[in-house]
Structure formats: C-alpha cells, structure tokens
Amino acid sequence: MFSRMSFRQMLLSGFLLIAMVLGAAALQGLRLLESFAAQSRLASETSIGLTTAAQQLAERTVDMERSARQYRVLEAPALRQRFLDQRNEAEDALAVFTRAAPATLGGVADTWRAAAAQAESALDGTGGEAELRDALDRMHAINERLGVEARHWVARNNADLLDALEANRVRLASEVMLAVGGAAAVALLFGWLLARPVKQIERGIERLGESRFDQAIEISGPADLREVGHRLDWLRQRLIELEADRVRMLRHVSHELKTPLAALREGVSLLQDEVAGPLSSGQQEVVDILHDNAHLLQGRIEDLLGFNAAVFDARRLHRERIKLRDLMARIVDSQRLQAQSRQVTIALDVAQIVVEADPEKLAVAVGNLVANAISFSPPGTQVTLRATRSGDLVRIDCEDHGPGVAVEDAGRIFDPFFQGRLQPEAPREGTGVGLSIVREYVQAHGGRVSLVSGEGGAHFRIELPLTA
C-alpha cells in the first residue's frame, strides 16, 4: 500500500493517523466525562428528592397525627377525611423512597404504610386509643429511620460516585497513555518509512560524489522517491560511461604522445652523441634544452597516467586493523635518505592508535605529505609528523618550516598538476599530483585532508574515521 503513495501522501497519512488516534482518545475522555456528569446529576437529583421526601413525610405524619387526635375527640367526618388526604399526599414522598432503592428504603416505606393502615383502622373504631398511639409512634420512628436510611443512601451513592470517578480517571489515563504510545508508534513508523529512502538517497549521492559506481542505487519507499532513485542510478550509469571514456581518452592520448615522444628522445640522444656530426656550442645548448624538456614531458605523461591509476585504485580498499605508530615509523624510515640528503630531520609523535584502513594506500597518502614537506623544507629544519585521536576520528598532522602556501593558492592546492607560487630555494622535481593522490586516498577512506592555516611553513591535516 505504501509503495503506491508519494512522499507527500505518506506524510499526510501519518499526520491523519496520529490525529485519529489522539482524537479517539479525546472523544473517549469526553464520553466518560459526560457519563460521569450524567451520573452526578442523577445522584444529586435523587439526594435532593430523598431529603425533600423525608421532610414532606415528617410533615404529613404530624398533620395525620393532629387530624387523628382531633377526630377521636370531635368525631367530625371532615377531620377523618383530612387524615386520609394527608395519607394520600404522603404516598408521593413514599414513592420517592421506593424508586430510589426498593431493596432498602422501599421496604421501610412499606412498613410506614402498614403503620398508617393500622392508624386508620384505629380511627374506624376497630382499635382503641392505645393502638392509635402505637401506630402514630411507629410512623414517627419510621420517619426517623427513613431519614437515616436516606442519609446512608446518599453517603453510599457519593462513595460510589467517587469510586466511579477514580475508575474513570485510571481508565482515561490508561487510554491517554495508550493513545500517546500509539501516536508515537505511528510517528516512528512513518518517520522510518520516510527517513529510510531519504537516507538511501543521501548514501547514493555520497557514493556518486566519491566516484564509487560499483553498486546500483536502489531506493525503497514512496513512488516519487523511488523515481528519484531511478534517476540517480541513471546518473551513476552515465558517470560510469563518462569515466570509461575519460580513461580510454587518457590511454589513447598517452599512447599517441609516447610514440612521437620516444622518437623525439631517440633523435635528441643521437644528436647528443654527435652521430650526425659534431655540434657547435650553440647547437649543443639547444640539444640539451630539447633533451631536458623531452624528459620533463615524459615525466608529465607518466604522472598523468599514475594519477589516473591512483583515482581508479582508490575505489578498491583492502581495509584491516593496523597500528598507526608502526605504519608511520615505516613511512619515516622510507623517507630517511631523502631527508638526510636535504639536511632535514623528521620528528615522529604518534599515539597508540588502531585504525581500520588500507595500509598501502594510507602509507602512500602520508608518505606523499612527508615527501612534500621534506622537499619544501630548508636545510637544518625539522618536519613534524603527529597522530592523535579525537573522538571517533584520528588526526594525522604534517608540518614543515618551508615557504608555506600562498593564500591565493589555498583553494587549488589539491588540484591535479597545480603547483603553488611559493617554491623552495633548492630546485625540486614534481608535477603537482602528490597532494591530489593524497586527497583521493583519504576521501576513499571516508575522511578528508585540509590545509591548516598558520604562519611559518605548511601544515596539512588528515582526518580519518577509526572504523569503516
């Protein structure tokens, strides 16, 4: 289902689902609140009704007693009728008790009716004064009992309401927590569904930027992001074709250059050996210039091919756990003769660090920095090679006391075949591909190389992750 949706539709669906979950919890809380409010209103009305009924019943009982005693003295039919009317009015109050709780108050109300019937019988002459007094006293006692029972009922009902309130509070709290948890789960689900393809696109772009074209770019998720993945994979295939064309062109160009260059060098060698006849001093100078420039051109072509091979080889790393101190010591040992010839010392300061890297390519990268520092350092100075750990990274610093890098050249110092305007006093050989190879190998490891600004010499820094 999600695979047919776009990124915007999935995002909207996620918001709607979260709103539905939280809305359902809110509606359930509202329903519980309305139910409890209805129970509270009913209990309040019942409590007021019971209190009023108890008061009315007590008043009717007093009126019935007054009418009964007057009738016993005067024997007026109107007084007996008043007694019956007061009894009938008392039935309305008794009905309130019966409706409220038939099992308790209703039974007491029936007892009051029996006492009232006994009082009526006494008025009709079937009983004496003692029976009437006993019936009336029972009615008053029953009134008090009904009042007590009514208060007990109200107290029990209030307790039940408090219990219901607590139960509703616990239930509502659990439903809210469940709704929040459900909303969080929905948010995490849609966040993962949306973040995963974005992360895949990011990794695909990083691989393209690092010229790693060996893996196809596959994006899972919404339809529009999958289409972006298809376009990225098309770009990858196009870059593969362009890279192959570039390599092929370099191969052809180098071949086409090497063939006439070899003939040129052979001809220059024949002239230097004076095979075609003796040369004058001016001619000899021209031949020497031709020889030097042919040799320089040969080196440039070989450096171009070497840089191209390094760029291609940087994509194939053979990582292993290596002790950085041992690797750096071997690099320094390999550069020792060059340093001695230029009267430069090398100071090594490396902590005990284990890093996952390709030892051969890392040695080439660091070795190029050291060789570059030695060639730019004046005699009697020192080149410092330092390695420290910073969090999950290892920092390799190479510093010298040479002329440094001009501010105008800082942005291009890692470009192939670029040589800065600040050069050492002693002549040096080089075509400007060493730092470019350093950058290719370091980026292949997922790190970066930079020129650290400062005074008095050049300071290059390599930052690599400790693990792949």
Tens-place pLDDT, residues 350-378: 888 888 888 888 888 898 889 888 888 88
- Return the ∠ at Cα 293 (arms to 288 and 297), rounded to 5°: 150
pLDDT for residue 102 is more than 60? no
Torsion sign, CA atoms 93, 99, 101, 107: positive
Write down all domains in the chain, each with its CATH number in brackets: 2-188 (1.20.120.1730), 223-312 (1.10.287), 316-465 (3.30.565.10)
d(CA 123, CA 79): 11
Query: In the prediction, which pLDDT does 293 show?
Result: 73
Indicate the pairing of strand 393-399 with strand 448-451.
unpaired
pLDDT for residue 251 is more than 80? no
Burial of residue 314, with CB atoms counted within 10 A of its CB: 0-12 exposed, 13-18 middle, 19 or more buried: buried
Lowest mean pLDDT segment, chosen from 112-126, 347-361, 441-455? 112-126
pLDDT for residue 230 is more than 80? yes
pLDDT for residue 43 is more than 80? no
Band the pLDDT of 105: cuts 50, 70, 90: low
d(CA 217, CA 207): 9
Compare 121 and 128 and report the one with higher pLDDT.
121
| DSSP string of 161-222, one letter each residue | HHHHHHHHHHHHHHHHHHHHHHHHHHHHHHHHHHHHHHHHHHHHHHHHHTT--SS-----SS
How many residues does this entry show for the chain? Answer: 468
Residue 230 CA from chain centroid, whole number: 26
Query: In the prediction, which pLDDT does 417 show?
Result: 65
Closest to 319 measured CA to CA, from 173, 183, 441: 441
pLDDT for residue 299 is more than 80? no
Compare 153 and 305 and report the one with higher pLDDT.
153
pLDDT for residue 117 is more than 70? yes
Tens-place pLDDT, residues 68-91: 778 777 777 887 788 788 877 777
How are the residues of the chain apportioned to helix, strand and coil, as percentages rounded to the nearest 5? 70, 10, 20
Average of per-residue pLDDT across 25-29: 82
Residue 363 to residues 19, 224, 317, 333, 442: CA-CA distances in angstroms?
Answer: 57, 44, 13, 12, 11
Average of per-residue pLDDT across 102-115: 68
Average of per-residue pLDDT across 429-443: 76
Query: Alpha helices, DSSP H only, in 101-128?
Result: 105-123
3-state secondary structure of 64: helix
pLDDT for residue 184 is more than 70? yes
Band the pLDDT of 127: cuts 50, 70, 90: low
Query: In the prediction, which pLDDT does 314 show?
Result: 57
Query: In the prediction, which pLDDT does 242 show?
Result: 82
The two structure tokens encoding residue 169: 């509070």
Residue 234 CA from chain centroid, whole number: 30
Average of per-residue pLDDT across 55-72: 79
pLDDT for residue 268 is more than 60? yes
The angle that helices 281-313 and 434-444 make with each other, rounded to 10 degrees, is 0
Query: In the prediction, which pLDDT does 165 show?
Result: 79
Band the pLDDT of 203: cuts 50, 70, 90: confident
The two structure tokens encoding residue 8: 């915007």
pLDDT for residue 241 is more than 60? yes
Tens-place pLDDT, residues 369-423: 898 888 888 888 999 999 998 888 999 999 998 887 877 777 777 777 667 656 6
The two structure tokens encoding residue 310: 């390094």
Query: In the prediction, which pLDDT does 292 show?
Result: 72
d(CA 196, CA 191): 8
Residue 343 to residues 34, 251, 333, 385, 405: CA-CA distances in angstroms?
Answer: 93, 40, 15, 17, 22
Return mean pLDDT, the chain. 78
For the question of whether the overall pTM of this predicted structure is more than 0.75, the answer is: no
